[in-house]
Each structure stands twice: as structure tokens, then as C-alpha cells.
Structure 1
């Protein structure tokens, strides 16, 4: 594929018209059109600017290998025109940068995620979703409060790439042959929403081989698949024995538990009160209609404690930043690239290479002898 074709592909992938690309790159519309139609080639400075705008490395436009387009699976896709493509392009760029850092530092790792024995999407039942959650609980060793360790274990033990960005929508998951499994969460969401979204997207990664087969290539989950993902997330974040033990500890002599007490349990497990209510459908044989009634009442209930506070999320994973610093100090990544990768200014990036710091010096080390 020629440079012109790659330029057109990259522009369309980010959701830009020629007019929009022209404004962002400050390159004339006629010039961009001529580049794309291979009437003339861009100068390197122009190519570098377009690469920045399209969120692609310059090497992408100079390569000859076939373009691999990664499928992005959305939860609550944005309706605003161009928002979907722009978010996907930024997410894909972060994943590609992460992969490059792994290659540069010789830290490329692949660990298989647990999978279901079911091979056919039509045979995947609610019970199978629950069984898969139980399997993940054991293999991930998540303990009694899974939400407190799920993200860290996925990142550090299974090398799933997890990013946070502020965007319209809820979450995205993808499974690439090049950079592996990755999840994008909305940084604007509350912590308990991010926990649930992470578990929901994890289901899609674990069942990618079932629902995203070469024959189907469905890039949007069906309503049934989404319900299965919710069932998986609920069972994963709210383990049966642990949750029942905490709920029943708050029960009065008549076996009733207040909304306020249930809200406390939900806080402990890092989920919303609504998620806990729905989990009680299977825990205590509650009907969906009864849960709906309790949800409506809970919205108007006056709790005596202040509203939950939510922590903020870091855009970049810790491992990503550590690899970037390692690549910089080993001379495998330029200061300009480092600043771009970790989203800081060039001046700030220079602090990571202060002249008086020698990280190989014995004074900056500790002996294990």
C-alpha cells in the first residue's frame, strides 16, 4: 500500500474529513488531497505533522506490510459524529506505543487468560458465564474483595494493557495479534463504575475466541452477550460466600437488612448499590420486579453517611511508564519520543536524565548480601 493510501486510511480511521485534517495539521486541503491520490508525496515535516494528527507513527506511512485493523468492542458507544473514531485511534496509539516499549526493553510478555471450554456462542449460557467467573476468581487469586486487586493482577500478571481516557462512552476492549489484550476505561467514571466496566470488558476478552470468530467478525456485542458479560462481572466482583456473609452480618432479628447497610456492603466490594441489588436476584431468589422496586426506593432513601468519594485514575499504566523510563535511560527512546509517550513536556522529560544522577552507581543501590 502506497503512502497516499495509508494517509487516507489513517485519516478515515480517526474520523476526520479532509477539511478537518487540514485545520488540525495546518496543511492545505488541496495538498492533503494530492498526497492521498499519490499526485505528490508530502515533505517529511508534513508527514510527521499528519502522523501526529492521525495518531500514527511515521513508520506506519513508510511501511509496506499489510495494514492490520484491530476490532474495537464498545460498551455504550458515543452517538456524536467522529467521537468513536477519535477515541479508537487514541486508544490504538497507546496500545501500539506500549507494545513498542515492550519490544525496545525486551520485556515482551504473553500469558494466556483463562478460557471457557465452550466453543460455540449459541451454547454459551448464563450458567457458563457464572462458571467462567468462578474460574477467573481462582486463577487470578482475587480473594474476598476482587475489585481491590483485579486491575493490578490483570496488568502485572497477565500483561493486559489497561488505559484511562476521558471520552464519550463507557469502555472498550480489543484483542490484537500484535499488542495483545487491552481495555480502555473512562477516566470520568466513578471508581465503582470503572470496576464493573473492567470486569465486563474482561468477559469479552475471555470469550473473544467464542463470540469474535473469523466466520462472524461481529464488531458489536449482541444484547444476549452483554447480559452474559454483566452476569460474569456481577459474579466476579461479588463472590457468593463473601457477599452473603457480609449481608447477613447486617440482618436484624427478622432477617431484614437496611438499604444503608447494603450500601455499606456495596462500598466494601467496590460496586454500586444497584449492582449488589441485582446480585441478590441469584443469592436470595429475588425477582427482577422486586429488585426494580427496591432500586426505585433506594434512590429516594436518606442515608446518614456522606456520598461515596471516588478516586481519580491515571491515564497510563505503571508498567507502561516504567518501560518508557527504562527505554529512555538505555538510549532506546529519544527524549522527544519519551515526552510524547508519557504525555509530558520536553522540559519535564529532561528531568528523567539529570546529569548528576547515575542509576548504575553503587551509592544508588542496595546489597542483598
Structure 2
């Protein structure tokens, strides 16, 4: 591990524990605060015995400062989860290991880990219509095509260098946005329905695009969330709606199959068909029609969401491969080059050596070791 990361982790831990430089300098055996200040400014390296003393003082393993396959308070996560989700801290630690591994191996390969994400002109006082319009503009700029949901993950990876990870998340966790320095990651629960996965991806993209202006909470929609944060979440939802269901795409559907004139059952059938063609959920399509002024809100409220659902959860036949191809390729390269052992790779992925082999097979890649 390079000294830059070590000093950042040391400083981050000191600040998170509300320990001032004078206190920590004394613990590390320095004569004055200036020595620790020089370390945090990158003017002096940290000696191994000093790291050991710091680890003992803070009650962490010494690998906390040096392990490149773990994150140590460096990343910022924003999770979408329901109230019944359990043990989020443990899952976040696992996710941090995946992202840290990708970053470390990419650097060893000499590849950039700098995601390219332009900012969008949306702020906390923006209207929901403005957010939806911005989503449409981003969809056009990225060239997401006639069915944006089917192209979104690939485009984010190839054009914006954003890491997309489809994972088996714990129940109640839909996904997350994560910023690790200049590396942006979107985590998606692959066991959600396809329409939900795409909408969550658009929602998390909004947070990455507006993070500096409107940093999202660690847990979206959690208890005690302020009115400001609730509005930001609605902005994210409307951005995602515009991104995945742009007006032009809906007008194209209307040209082939005109909107019904009345009747909840007729409307429900049209909405379900349109949602299926754009690979989004029926309820999302319904409220997008309302926002475009194509369906009155009162009429929409009479159409029960249950009648619009295409499926509740994805079947095994439609699950996307775990993680992503670029992530698994990176992992295979690291094993082949000896940068991490097979067993270490399996631990990072939270699986067995045999199941790790299945991960490569799932992506059509050769297993980089003999079973």
C-alpha cells in the first residue's frame, strides 16, 4: 500500500474518532504535533512501528491502514433500503472490498480509475419537471437509444467509466451509489425485477451527478429524513423517469398504439404494454404519463399498481451475471499476475474457490486457475 493511502486512512480515522493531532502525536511517540502534521501533509512517511501503535490505540487491525483490498473509511455510500433490511454495515464492508479490489487492480494494470461524470444543472430547489427534463437530456447526450433501460449499464461503464455491480444483496437493499475519490460505483440488487433495476440505476446516477451540490444521506428515505432530502429523492426519481422514459419514446409508442380514451382496465393494459416495451415497471410508466400531462392524476390513482405489475421479482432465467464483465476480467488478471491468491480472491468475493470459478464461467471467461 502506498504512503498516500496510509496517511489518508490514518488521518480519516483520527478525525472520525475526534482525536486531535496533539493526542495522536503523543501516542505515536512524537516530540510534537508538527511531526504528525508533516505525515498528514505527505512530507514524512509513517514507519511500521508507528502504524502498529496507531492500530493498538484505535483498536483496529494494522491491515486497516495497509490492505489495498479493503476500504477504510475512504468511500461515501448512499443506500436505497427498506426498513426491514438488516446488517447493512456488514454488507457495506463487503461492498467496500469489491470496490477497493477493482481500484487496486486497475491501478496495477496502469488503467485510469477516474470516472467521467459531468454535473447537471439541478439543485435542491429545482422542480420535479426540471429533473425529468434533465433526465431526458442526459438520455439523449449518452445516446441511450429507443429503449434506454436496456443500454444504461453498458453506456455508463463505457462512456462514463462508472463501475456497475449487479450483486445478490441482502433482502431490503435495492442498491447504492458510492464515491471513492474519483471512482464512481453503482450497486444494484440483481434479484429485483428488471424494471426496478433500471429505475434504481437511473436514481443512483442522479445522486452521482449531483453529489457535490446535494450529497445524499447514507440511507435514503431513512427515519428522520428531512423535507429537503425527501425532495431530493423525488428529484432523483423524476430524473430516472425522464432518463428511461423520454417523451420521444412514449410518443413513438403512442403513434403505433393511441392512448385509450377511458376505462381503468383499458388504461392498465396500455400502460403494461408500454412499460414492457421500455423495460420499466408499470407503476413507473403510469406516473410518467401523469407528469407528461397524458393521464390525469385522478384517473391514475384509480388504476391500482397491482394491476400494472409485470412481475414481482426476477426469475433465475433473467438474472444479469453477477458483478460485471469488466470487474471479473480485472479479478482474473490479478490472479494470473499473482497480485492476489485464489483464496484471497474468494474471500474478497465472499465465496468458495469452486464458486469463484463459476463466476468466470458466468461471464464467458476462462477460469484463471486450476481447480
Q: TM-score, normalised by structure 1?
A: 0.69
Partner of 1:139: 141
1:85 to 78, 84, 89: 89
Distance in 2 (alpha carbons) for counterparts of 1:337 and 1:146: 37
Secondary structure in 1 aligned to 2:173? coil
- Give the CA deviation at 1:208: 0.7
Structure 1: distance between partners of 2:58 and 2:92? 29
- Asked whether the equivalents of residues 193 and 313 of structure 2 are also in contact (C-alpha less than 8 Å), the reply is no
- Matched residue, 2:164: 162
The RMSD of aligned alpha carbons is: 4.0
Query: Using the alignment, how far apart are the partners of 1:206 and 1:99 within structure 2?
Result: 20
> Contact 2:177–2:187 (CA<8 Å) still a contact in 1?
yes
Change (3 A) 1:338 1:148: same
- Please tell me whether the aligned partners of residues 101 and 320 of structure 1 are also in contact (alpha carbons under 8 angstroms): no
Q: 1:182 to 1:253 in 2, by over 3 A?
A: closer
Residue 264 of structure 1 pairs with residue 273 of structure 2 = yes
Matched, 1:319 2:326: yes
Deviations 1:237-271 (A, max 9, x none): 11111112213422379588542232121011111
For residues 211 and 41 of structure 1, the distance between their equivalents in structure 2, rounded to whole angstroms, comes to 34
2:174 is the counterpart of 1:152: no
Report the CA distance between 1:281 and its aligned residue.
0.8
Distance change (3 Å), C-alpha of 1:335 and 1:253: closer
| Structure-1 separation of matches of 2:260 and 2:89 | 56
Corresponding residue for residue 198 of structure 2: 195
Whether the 8 Å contact between 1:324 and 1:341 is mirrored in structure 2 is: no
2:160 match: secondary structure: coil
Show CA shifts across 1:283-333 (max 9, x none). 334333321112x2x6358x9x99996511333211011111122223333
Is the 2:98–2:349 contact (alpha carbons within 8 Å) kept by the matching residues of 1?
no
CA distance in 1, matches of 2:110, 2:163: 17
Distance 2:72 2:368 in 1: 35
Q: How many residues align?
A: 303
Report deviation, 1:61. Answer: 5.8
TM-score, with structure 2 as normaliser: 0.69
- Does the aligned pair in 1 maintain the 2:198–2:280 contact within 8 Å? yes
Question: Which runs of 5 or more structure 2 residues have no equivalent in the other structure?
Answer: 1-5, 18-52, 221-228, 358-365
Match of 1:278 among 274, 287, 308: 287
Which residue number corresponds to residue 119 of structure 2? 115
